[in-house]
């Protein structure tokens, strides 16, 4: 049995999704808290959709707080159906005669604030495409390519965008013959090397390796979070430069910023725990380099068919002599970047003249524009003339 609720006709109905089956679950909750605070209740009727570590979908009162405190008894299971006829979030009511679907809220647009796997990798985007719903951010292809660091580097190299040398191994290779994997890694480059889960962000599972022992530990750590593991040449002296991109077919880039991590590299702890990392906005780099950073970010964004938003992360290798800028490398495009009140993506737009609340409004507008354009695509072959 399916019953329908009443929507609020004078407001845009937004479903905000957060949490999820990812090592970035806690970061997602922090981002969602800021976004929910920024959504103007005069413009939007907001429905919170929380996803547990196990991937269970939950709705109810103050979902974010309940999920943050792991107090889930007051919440109800829910789902979005992959059927364009059922345009909303459905609460699953358990009755004596079985389960009943109730339309908790019809939705005009979904804002997935799901960092990492099962949210940023094209999976949720595929579900929302099947349901024919508007959603914030990149589509299936842009999300999937942006998520997998190995595939992303392949695409960048094909577009002559500079990336640091790398190799990909999988969990089975590590488990069966880790010594061979280590020997292959040492042929890639000398220490330091970085080992990372190929499909994760927020520096979860990343190890900077200065010795063979570090490399063994880093491989085991990374494969906890992904079956694909990236091994990358480390740059001993590098500056971390980031730039925000916004838009669909005609994206624009913000002013760049520089990260001064509180630790040896921009680890999870340096990003979210110790509050000692610094962000320099704008980045103290020459105007010519700023233009190059923005150009590369936009080229990369369009190369993977990104949409809505992304943060482009660069490494600037320090020059060998005074006054020498050094070599620039693109590290990754983060298609659902951190959205906390200390995150670089919104801070860069604020410095570029677009405040946080206006940025959230613009992202929702872009989602609606992309859905309108998608609706123009014909699904039936009408034959030649």
For residue 258, tell me if it sits in a domain: yes
> What CATH code is carried by the domain that includes residue 204?
3.30.1490.20
Q: Is pLDDT above 60 for 1?
A: no
Residue 379 within any structural domain of the chain: no
> For residue 384, is it within any domain?
no
User: SS3 of 318, please?
Assistant: coil
Are 252 and 364 members of one domain?
A: yes
Same domain, 311 and 218: no
Q: Which of 47-61, 87-101, 161-175, 300-314 has the lowest mean pLDDT?
A: 87-101
The verdict on residue 227 lying in a domain is yes
Task: Show contacts of 219-225: CB within 8 Å, 24+ apart.
Answer: 219/169, 219/174, 219/178, 219/181, 219/182, 219/195, 220/174, 221/195, 222/195, 222/196, 222/197, 223/171, 223/174, 223/175, 223/197, 224/197, 225/23, 225/197, 225/200
CA-nearest of 191, 227, 190 to 207 is: 191
Sequence-distant (6+) residues with CB within 8 A of 155 are: 145, 303, 304
Residue 6 and residue 123 in one domain: yes
Task: Look at residue 341 in the predicted model and tell me its pLDDT.
Answer: 80
Q: Give the integer Cα–Cα distance in Å for 229 and 199.
A: 8
Angstrom CA distances, 170 to 147, 202, 218, 229, 309, stand at 16, 21, 13, 6, 29
Least confident range from 123-127, 271-275, 295-299, 323-327: namely 271-275
Q: In this structure, is residue 377 part of a structural domain?
A: no
Judgement on whether residues 277 and 179 belong to the same structural domain of the protein: no
Highest mean pLDDT: which of 89-93, 116-120, 318-322?
89-93
Statement: residue 4 has pLDDT above 50: no
Shared domain check, 290 and 307: yes
Q: List the single range of 3-17, 240-254, 272-286 with lowest mean pLDDT.
A: 3-17
Full domain range(s) for residue 173: 166-233
Pick from 218, 233, 248: which residue ends a domain?
Answer: 233
More confident residue, 221 or 323: 221
The closest alpha carbon to 209, from 226, 189, 195, belongs to: 195
**Which pLDDT band, with edges at 50, 70 and 90, does 5 fall under?**
very low
Q: Both 125 and 12 in a single domain? A: yes
Final residue of a structural domain among 211, 233, 255: 233
Q: How confident is the model over 71-98, as pLDDT tens digits?
A: 999 999 999 999 999 889 999 998 878 7
Indicate which CATH number applies to the domain containing 324.
3.30.470.20
**What pLDDT shows up at residue 20?**
95
Residue 340 has pLDDT above 80, yes or no: yes
Residues 104, 204 within the same domain:
no
Strands (E) in the chain, as ranges, are: 2-3, 12-19, 44-51, 57-59, 76-79, 88-95, 98-106, 109-113, 134-135, 166-170, 193-197, 207-209, 228-233, 238-247, 252-253, 257-260, 278-280, 308-317, 328-334
Which whole-number Å values give the CA distances from 82 to 1, 87, 197, in the listed order?
Answer: 17, 9, 30
What CA–CA distance (Å, rounded) separates 373 from 375?
5
Q: Is there a single domain that holds both residue 243 and residue 177?
A: no
- Looking at the fold, whether 209 and 244 belong to one and the same domain comes out as no
Mean pLDDT calculated for residue range 370-376? 96
- The verdict on 40 and 105 lying in the same domain is yes
Q: Is residue 380 part of a domain?
A: no
Does residue 106 fall inside a structural domain?
yes
Q: Say if residue 213 is in the same domain as residue 257.
A: no
- The number of distinct structural domains making up the chain is 3
Predicted model pTM? 0.91
Per-residue model confidence as pLDDT tens digits over 27-67: 999 999 999 999 999 999 999 999 999 999 999 989 999 99
In a domain, 382, yes or no: no
Lowest mean pLDDT among 16-25, 292-301, 354-363: 16-25
Distance CA 18, CA 115 (A): 8
> pLDDT tens for residues 141-161?
999 999 999 999 999 999 999
- Residue 257 shares a structural domain with residue 121: no
pLDDT bracket for residue 3 (50, 70, 90): very low
CATH number at residue 65: 3.40.50.20
């Amino acid at each position: 049995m399916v019953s329908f609720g009443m929507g609020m006709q004078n407001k845009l109905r937004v479903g905000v999704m957060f949490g999820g089956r990812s090592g970035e679950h806690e970061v997602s909750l922090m981002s969602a808290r800021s976004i929910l605070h920024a959504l103007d209740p005069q413009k939007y009727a907001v429905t919170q959709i929380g996803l547990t570590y196990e991937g269970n979908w939950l709705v109810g009162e103050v979902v974010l707080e309940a999920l943050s405190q792991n107090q889930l008894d007051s919440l109800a299971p829910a789902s979005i159906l992959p059927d364009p006829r059922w345009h909303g979030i459905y609460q699953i009511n358990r009755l004596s005669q079985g389960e009943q679907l109730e339309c908790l809220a019809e939705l005009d647009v979904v804002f997935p604030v799901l960092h990492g796997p099962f949210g940023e990798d094209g999976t949720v985007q595929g579900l929302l495409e099947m349901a024919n719903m508007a959603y914030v951010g990149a589509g299936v292809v842009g999300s999937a390519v942006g998520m997998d660091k190995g595939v992303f580097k392949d695409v960048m190299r094909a577009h002559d965008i500079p990336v640091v040398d790398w190799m990909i191994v999988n969990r089975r290779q590590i488990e069966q013959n880790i010594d061979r994997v280590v020997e292959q890694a040492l042929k890639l480059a000398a220490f330091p090397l970085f080992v990372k889960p190929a499909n994760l962000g927020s520096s979860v599972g990343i190890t900077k390796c200065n010795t063979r022992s570090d490399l063994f530990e880093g491989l085991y750590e990374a494969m906890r979070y992904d079956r694909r593991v990236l091994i990358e040449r480390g740059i001993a002296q590098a500056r971390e430069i980031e730039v925000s991109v916004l838009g669909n077919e005609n994206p624009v880039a913000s002013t760049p910023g520089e990260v001064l991590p509180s630790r040896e590299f921009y680890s999870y702890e340096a990003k979210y725990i110790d509050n000692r990392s610094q962000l320099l906005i704008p980045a103290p780099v020459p105007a010519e380099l700023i233009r190059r950073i923005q150009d590369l970010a936009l080229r990369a964004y369009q190369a993977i068919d990104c949409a809505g938003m992304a943060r482009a992360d660069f490494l600037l290798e320090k020059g060998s002599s005074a006054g020498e800028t050094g070599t620039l490398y693109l590290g990754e495009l983060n298609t659902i970047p951190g959205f906390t009140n200390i995150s670089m993506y919104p801070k860069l737009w604020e410095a570029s003249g677009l405040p946080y609340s206006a940025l959230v409004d613009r992202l929702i507008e872009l989602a609606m524009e992309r859905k309108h354009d998608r609706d123009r695509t014909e699904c039936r072959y009408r034959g030649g003339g």
